[in-house]
Structure 1
Amino acid sequence: MGLWRWRHNSLCRTTDLAEAWVAFAALVLVCLAAPAAGLLTGAATHASVQQTARLQQAHRHPVTAEVLGPARGRDGVPRDPDASADHRMRKPVRAGWTAPDGTLRTGTVSVARQNAQPGDTVRIWTDDRGRPVNRPMDASTAREHAALAGAGVAVASAALVEGVRRLVVRQLTQRRYARLDREWARTGPDWGRTGAGS
């Protein structure tokens, strides 16, 4: 409607028409290009994260560890980013377990506080070498990461388009005001004087 309104209007300036076209282009980009960028990014992220999840599931193994006693420090305790809410409910302890290759290992692991007494058994995850690691990523977590990445790119793309639109409109407005200033400087001194032709 904005472009149609300016079609035959004698008061329409070139900058008005350019501003209307910029707004129309920005609207099309926000409605079509930003969601498309989000979908493409989400799909690419999903494929990548699913591959990572499959590799983790293939190379991380659940084992039963026996608590040996309190930990001497926090070194070697893998931090699970998905379990950050219950970090106060966990405690680092010294534990022993059997690695996938059959060797006995000891190290510091993080366990629930109720399982922190010597002799208690806990379930931990180890890599192929028997080192403690975080649990492998599951498919639903991979989907969530992909959805967040896609939504973030879509929002960032829309914000970028809107920012460029605002910059272009600002330039058009400054050009419009400069043209008005030049015309006023040319016409202003004679404004209202008799015989000045105005």
Structure 2
Amino acid sequence: MGAGPVSGGVLARMRRAVWPGANPLRRRTDWFEPIALLVILVAAVVVLISSFVVSQAVLRDHLARVNAEHIDRHPVSAKVLAEVPGESAVVRSVRVGWATPPDPPRSAVIEVPTGTPLADTVPIWVDPQDRPVPPPRTRSEATQAAGTAGAGVLLGSGLVLGGMFGAARWYVGKRRLAAWEADWARVGPRWRHHLP
């Protein structure tokens, strides 16, 4: 005697596990999980598209800034004039001077990491007005900012959707248990008459 044919395949079993179908014991709350699953799947697609759009917008914006900074800023070699006393353990301040002919010589106080050995000259970046500025950002920094923005949208949306789904499941489960208790309160006394 062999086993009878298996009714349906893996997909059919999965569909029955998710979709309540025509089960006579089905309650209205049993429709919540498949509908919520469908809503979560649609929301996940929307979140994926949104995170891609956000990351691309951030990347365009940062790349435009990177290009503008590379156009506006240029490196110069500045001569170290003196060390400026300071309290920080992370950076130290030094006065440097440079000249970009035909402009007159300039000087400014810049900060360098404490462990950096000071040579006679240090490279600095200046803007079109010949003022010291931070080095221009790189394309990799722009890409990293875009990736962080996209990941932030994904993570934040995932936490919100997961929290909403969990709270809704808790509420529906509570309602389901209350309905079962009410049904048992109605049916239980009738069953007690049939017990030996």
Q: TM-score range by the shorter chain?
A: 0.7 to 0.9
Q: Which runs of 5+ in 1 are unaligned?
A: 76-86
| Residues 189 and 48 of structure 1: CA distance in aligned 2, closer, same or farther (over 3 Å) | same
| Residues 94 and 109 of structure 1: CA distance in aligned 2, closer, same or farther (over 3 Å) | same
RMSD: 2.8
Report the number of matched residues.
178
Q: Tell me the amino acid that sits aligned with residue 9 of structure 1.
A: N
**Deviation string for 1:141-171 (max 9, x for gaps)?**
1112111211221222222221111121112
Task: Find the partner of 1:72 among 70, 78, 85.
Answer: 85
Q: Which runs of 5+ in 2 are unaligned?
A: 1-13
Task: Find the partner of 2:39 among 25, 44, 50.
Answer: 25
Q: Is the 8 A contact 1:99 1:126 kept in 2?
A: no
| 2:70 is equivalent to residue 57 of structure 1 | yes
Q: Tell me the amino acid that sits aligned with residue 110 of structure 1.
A: E
- TM-score (normalizing by structure 2): 0.76
| Residues 188 and 125 of structure 1: CA distance in aligned 2, closer, same or farther (over 3 Å) | same
1:151-170 to structure 2, matched below 5 A, reads 151-170=151-170
What is the rounded CA distance, in whole Å, between the counterparts of 1:52 and 1:190 in structure 2? 77
Q: Secondary structure at the match of 2:192?
A: coil
Q: Secondary structure at the match of 1:9?
A: coil
Q: Which residue of 2 aligns with 1:80?
A: none
| 2:61 is equivalent to residue 48 of structure 1 | yes
Q: Which residue of 1 aligns with 2:3?
A: none
What is the rounded CA distance, in whole Å, between the counterparts of 1:73 and 1:132 in structure 2? 19
1:83-94 to structure 2, matched below 5 A, reads 91-94=92-95
- TM-score (normalizing by structure 1): 0.76
RCO greater where, 1 or 2, for CA within 8 Å and sep 6 or more? 1
Instruction: Give 1:189 deviation, angstroms.
Output: 5.6
**Deviation string for 1:104-152 (max 9, x for gaps)?**
22222234622x25xx111101222222221001222111211121122
Q: Which residue of 2 aligns with 1:127?
A: 127
Q: Which residue of 2 aligns with 1:106?
A: 107
What is the rounded CA distance, in whole Å, between the counterparts of 2:104 and 2:176 in structure 1? 79
Q: Is the 8 A contact 1:62 1:125 kept in 2?
A: yes
